[in-house]
Amino acid sequence: MQKGSIRAVLYDFDGTLADSTELIMRCYRHTMAAHLGHVPPDEEWLSGFGMTLETQLRRFARDAAEAERMLDTYRDYQNSIHDELLRPFPGAVETVAELDRRGYRLAIVTSKHRRSAMRGMELCGLVSHFDVIVTPEDVREPKPHPEPVLFALEKLGMTPGEALFIGDSPHDVASGKAAGTRTAGALWGPFPREALETAGPDALLNAQHDVLRLLDGA
C-alpha cells in the first residue's frame, strides 16, 4: 500500500470484531434440529459465514415457507442467548479506538441485519467509533457483491483506493476486491488460513492490533 494512501478502514462485524462463532453455531444447531430433525455437519454452515442469514437458511430449507419458519426459530433462539455469548475479540475495542484517534474514517459492512448489528455493537462498546454502518437493508446485493462496500465508501466520501476492508471470510475479501479496496483477512475468525489465502487478500492479520502495524507500514 502506498504510504499514507489509506484514509478509511471498513470492518466486517461477526468473526472480525465480535467473537460470535459459538452464538451462531448454537443457533444453527438449534434451528436445524427443530426443523430437519437432525443437524448437518458444522462445516456446511461455516462455509457460508459472511452471507446473510436468509441466504444461509435457504441452503438447508426444503422450501421457501420452511426457510421463513427457520428464520423465526433462529432469531427467537438468538435473542435468548445473544448477550450471554457475544463479546468483542481481545484487542478489538482498543484497536478501533486507536484508529478513530488517528483520524481514520471507520465503517461497518456486515451481513447482519441492522437491529442485531446495533445490539451487538452496543454490547461490544463499538458504536461511537463508527461513522457508517451498512447492513443488508441498505443494499440490493449483499456480500460477496461489491455493493455494500461501495455504499459504505459513498457514505464516507472516500474512494476505493483510500480504503482498507478487513474481514474474516472469503466473502468479505471478494466483496472488497470487487469494490477496488485493499483487503485484509482476519485469521482469528472461524475460517482456516488456507481459505483466506485462496481468496487473495492484500494482507493477513494474526491479531487485532496488526491493522495498526499494517497501516504504519503503508
What amino acid positions are annotated as catalytic residues? Answer: 12
Residue 131 has φ and ψ, to the nearest 5°, of -75, -35
Tally the C-alpha atoms within 13 A of residue 78's C-alpha that lie toward its C-beta.
24
Q: Is 80 exposed, middle or buried (0-12, 13-18, 19+ CB in 10 A)?
A: exposed
Using an 8 Å Cβ cutoff, are 134 and 143 in contact?
A: no
| C-alpha torsion angle, residues 174, 177, 183, 185 (rounded to 10) | 20
